[in-house]
Structure 1
């Protein structure tokens, strides 16, 4: 069993992350029913954080919740990942286009700090730290548009992407490509070049999609 303790919020987050990881790694296979009591026993928590975790993972698309039938695991295949990234590309390009007008020098500095952290972690081979810095950088760019509804949609998939990357990894070329992409996006932001920022954001997310799909294909 995996004992998960802490505050209510921490407990919920840990249950959610562990359940997500168990789905991604095949502990719970597609179509399997997820029974609340069994999950509560497995993770040694009450039923409340289990229910909250299931709601969150439904939002990510990992499970389905049906009246009278409960929760079941969805199949995470290449089509699922492709659709997820297509949504991300559409929303992120819209957000950077609208957000660049709100970009202050202070915000730019914070974005640059996250990118520097990403490069440091990536160079050291700490991909967990790099993924966190990458998430923070993109989140700060995305929130400039002041569109919480769009931000909520795109944020649902960050944990899922991180879990998929933990399982399938990156191609050797991808880490350096991310650094180059980030530098280009930052330069466009410094110049307040909306057209360039949109183009580079679209290219960056598209390359991320292609790389993850290739990594999945190589391991199946």
Structure 2
């Protein structure tokens, strides 16, 4: 585990907030894995801080549902369950389809060019095989579509869900066998929006989420089997 405060330092934030943001990001990106124990002494040593801000951060993460307190074991990163995943993806599926439809009518030439470049960047990241960069490229690509809707309330709703979605995004990106499928799906979504084909764009957005859901379920069940053997 190589978590560090360096990338999260902000002179305007109290140390406890910097520690909280660092641990939160490590969980969302999968650097701290589901089920991994969070030992205050170990984390404080890694981050170069006292145990107090670490303890406060863990309590806040528990309130957000990212950390679970286990009797006689202590704090651990909350495991991803099929129920929690279904709840998030059910909402995201509907919103992504709506965003794709609206983008067909409202996307500008500049945004369309940015979307094309985002597809190319995603493909480059897939070829490089860097999971973190793949996830970031995926976020960037979908953000262009969301912004192209011009609907500020919808943009806000998607942003509110995006951090929860980020955690699941890492789960399906772990399955490298699905990377080429993701590339193809992005291209279909882009082409549909470019052609202003609302029906195909919305259907492609839904299929995109459906395939992610299948990949995440496989990953959850695989990790569950591995845990049962340990």
Please classify the TM superposition score into its range, dividing by the shorter chain length. Answer: 0.7 to 0.9
Would you say the 8 A contact 1:16–1:57 is kept in 2?
A: no
Q: Tell me whether 1:190 sits opposite 2:190 in the alignment.
A: no
Distance 1:72 1:27 in 2: 5
* 1:73-129 alpha-carbon deviations (Å, 9 max, x no partner): 644222222222112112211222223322001001111111101111212323322
Residue of structure 2 in register with 1:26 after alignment:
35
Following TM superposition, by how much is the alpha carbon of 1:38 offset from its aligned partner in structure 2, in angstroms? 9.3
Residue of structure 2 in register with 1:152 after alignment:
159
Distance 1:41 1:19 in 2: 18
Q: 2:87 aligns with which of 83, 86, 89?
A: 83
* 1:116-167 alpha-carbon deviations (Å, 9 max, x no partner): 011112123233222211110011111222223322233122431244346x
Distance 2:46 2:160 in 1: 30
* 1:38-80 alpha-carbon deviations (Å, 9 max, x no partner): 9767644586798678657855x4248xxxxxx9864422222
Q: Sort the Cα spacing of 1:49 and 1:138 in 2 relative to 1 into closer, same or farther, 3 A.
A: farther
Q: Sort the Cα spacing of 1:77 and 1:121 in 2 relative to 1 into closer, same or farther, 3 A.
A: same
Following TM superposition, by how much is the alpha carbon of 1:22 offset from its aligned partner in structure 2, in angstroms? 6.5
Distance 1:140 1:191 in 2: 17
Q: Sort the Cα spacing of 1:185 and 1:23 in 2 relative to 1 into closer, same or farther, 3 A.
A: same
Q: 2:180 aligns with which of 176, 182, 197?
A: 176
Instruction: State the superposition RMSD in angstroms.
Output: 3.4
Residue of structure 1 in register with 2:135 after alignment:
131
Q: How many residues align?
A: 206
Would you say the 8 A contact 1:16–1:53 is kept in 2?
A: no
Gaps of 5+ in 1: 65-70
Q: Tell me whether 1:16 sits opposite 2:29 in the alignment.
A: no
Would you say the 8 A contact 1:111–1:140 is kept in 2?
A: yes
Would you say the 8 A contact 2:189–2:201 is kept in 1?
A: yes
TM-score, normalised via structure 2 length:
0.72
- Say which SS state the counterpart of residue 185 (structure 1) adopts: helix
Q: Tell me whether 1:142 sits opposite 2:146 in the alignment.
A: yes
Using the TM superposition, name which of 79-88 and 193-202 deviates more: 79-88
Using the TM superposition, name which of 48-57 and 71-80 deviates more: 48-57
Q: Sort the Cα spacing of 1:118 and 1:40 in 2 relative to 1 into closer, same or farther, 3 A.
A: same
TM-score, normalised via structure 1 length:
0.75
